[in-house]
């Protein structure tokens, strides 16, 4: 199965973002509101940093990031994969793409936040992310990976 990446198009929020994120987040934050999901997505879209994953024309997930030029870092805002496609290596492919983008932007590190009970934390650790315990709390791990430029 060949993974392709595309930019946002009209209708993506209702058709993909809300259902995927609501399902994936139900174990971590049951209070997550549809309006909050929409607002976060629209904010990321304005910056042009939202991308969708497709296999044979079927959308299976999305990810977004923000370039923080002041800190010379790239922050992964969101990374969601449909439950039927999790654990198949697509998360690693996304992280590979984000690292390439970070190098192009001359970012010295990539940062992200993840619930400590999220199984994706294993993927991030395997990919070289380390928890910044100074910024983490009981529920959320703040993680970062140094990038060689």
Could you read off the pLDDT of 115-140 as tens digits, one per residue?
898 889 999 999 999 999 888 888 88
Handedness of CA 19, 82, 129, 2 (dihedral sign): negative
What's domain 3-146's superfamily in CATH?
Answer: Gcn5-related N-acetyltransferase (GNAT) (3.40.630.30)
pLDDT at 44: 78
User: Which of 3-7, 44-48, 61-65, 118-122 has the least mean pLDDT?
Assistant: 44-48
CA distance 99 to 104: 9
pLDDT of the residue at 102: 94
pTM of the model: 0.83
Q: How many residues does the chain have?
A: 149
Q: What is the biggest distance separating any 2 CA atoms in the chain, rounded to whole angstroms?
A: 43
Q: In what order do the strands lie in the sheet with 58-68?
A: 3-7, 50-55, 58-68, 73-81, 109-115, 140-146, 130-131
């Amino acid at each position: 199965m060949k993974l392709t990446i595309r930019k946002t198009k009209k209708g993506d929020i209702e058709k993909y973002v809300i259902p995927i994120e609501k399902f994936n987040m139900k174990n971590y934050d049951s209070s997550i509101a549809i309006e909050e999901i929409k607002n976060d997505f629209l904010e990321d879209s304005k910056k042009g940093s939202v991308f969708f994953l497709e296999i044979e024309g079927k959308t299976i997930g999305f990810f977004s990031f923000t370039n923080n030029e002041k800190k010379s870092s790239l922050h992964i805002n969101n990374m969601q994969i449909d439950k039927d496609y999790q654990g198949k290596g697509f998360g690693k492919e996304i992280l590979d793409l984000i690292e390439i983008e970070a190098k192009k932007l001359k970012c010295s590190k990539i940062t992200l936040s993840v619930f400590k009970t999220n199984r994706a934390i294993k993927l991030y650790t395997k990919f070289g992310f380390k928890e910044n315990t100074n910024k983490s709390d009981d529920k959320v791990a703040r993680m970062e990976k140094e990038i060689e430029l």
